[in-house]
């Protein structure tokens, strides 16, 4: 990120490590599975985890255009630290969006509520910035959760979006892959064709796929080279080929 020019990016979507890999267990498809995702997801303690988030968010502030915005996804393990850092650096939080998961894994301890959502923070660089929001399109799509269907009304901040579909994993599985439908909502709402989009934790490349589908340029960064080469790159190349073939001659 330090190699990118200042104020060169229109939109950032960041899905940083949640630091959840603690040798615990979860349930997937009716079976107990390990929660460990990789060394990159292991906590180094509150101070080092906080410093990590502070550093990458600071770089995002440097490279984002004056009227650009950032989306950050997370659970309670990380999202409050990110929100605190945004506020300490002078960002202006526009929304916190709840991504409701109907297929949430059950809680094995039976001593707390079942975690069934992630939080998305949407912010601009300052309170005076003039950010882009595709209000008309979002209103046309209506609101989200099953018990609150209001097509034609203002879209609300609770989004019921399903899990990653099998077709989205044809190049392999990533432990924290986000569904295309989620990134479609984010990119359509807060960017225009021709905008530059950055994902500093590229993972499986979903942000890049959706950016290309919507006529944007994309930069993806990740420390896990195997995921970049094995999943993200072929997905993005396929999206480029499909996008180019769809253009009128």
pLDDT at 208 over 80: yes
What are the C-alpha distances in Å from 116 to residues 108, 140, 150, 222? 14, 26, 22, 27
- Mean pLDDT across the stretch 191-203? 97
pLDDT at 209 over 50: yes
What is the widest separation between alpha-carbon atoms in the chain?
60
Domains and CATH numbers, the chain: 9-21+45-104+114-246 (3.40.50.150)
Distance CA 225, CA 31 (A): 29
Judged by DSSP in three states, 243 sits in: helix
- At 214 the pLDDT is 97
Q: 117 vs 245, which has greater pLDDT?
A: 117
At 4-52, the pLDDT tens digits run: 999 999 999 999 998 886 656 555 655 666 566 778 788 889 999 999 9
Edge to edge, the sheet with strand 217-220 lists 158-160, 92-100, 117-124, 64-74, 9-14, 196-199, 217-220
pLDDT at residue 65 greater than cutoff 80: yes
Tokens representing residue 172 in the block: 């392999």
% the chain with pLDDT above 70 = 88
Question: Angle of helix 180-190 relative to helix 206-213, nearest 10 degrees?
Answer: 50
113, 132, 133, 214, 217 from 192: Cα distances, Å: 39, 8, 9, 8, 11
Mean pLDDT on 109-123:
94
List, in sequence order, every residue forming a beta bridge with 199; answer none if it has no partner.
220
Average pLDDT, the chain: 90
């Amino acid at each position: 990120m330090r190699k990118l020019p200042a104020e060169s990016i229109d939109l950032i979507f960041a899905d940083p490590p949640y630091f959840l890999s603690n040798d615990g267990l979860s349930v997937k498809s009716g079976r107990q599975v390990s929660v460990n995702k990789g060394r990159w997801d292991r906590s180094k303690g509150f101070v080092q985890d906080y410093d990590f988030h502070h550093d990458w968010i600071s770089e995002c502030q440097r490279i984002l255009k004056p009227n650009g915005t950032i989306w950050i996804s997370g659970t309670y393990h990380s999202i409050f630290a990110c929100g605190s850092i945004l506020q300490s650096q002078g960002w202006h939080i526009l929304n916190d969006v709840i991504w409701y998961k109907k297929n949430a894994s059950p809680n094995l301890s039976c001593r707390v509520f079942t975690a069934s959502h992630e939080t998305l923070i949407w912010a601009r660089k300052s309170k005076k910035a003039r950010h882009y929001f595709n209000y008309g399109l979002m209103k046309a799509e209506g609101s989200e959760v099953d018990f609150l269907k209001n097509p034609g009304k203002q879209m609300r901040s609770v989004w019921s979006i399903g899990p990653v579909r099998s077709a989205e994993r044809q190049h392999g599985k990533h432990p924290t892959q986000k569904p295309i439908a989620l990134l479609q909502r984010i990119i359509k709402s807060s960017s225009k064709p021709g905008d530059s989009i950055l994902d500093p934790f590229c993972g499986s490349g979903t942000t890049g796929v959706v950016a290309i589908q919507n006529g944007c340029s994309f930069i993806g960064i990740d420390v896990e080279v195997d995921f970049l080469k094995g999943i993200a790159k072929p997905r993005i190349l396929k999206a480029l080929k499909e996008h180019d073939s769809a253009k009128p001659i």
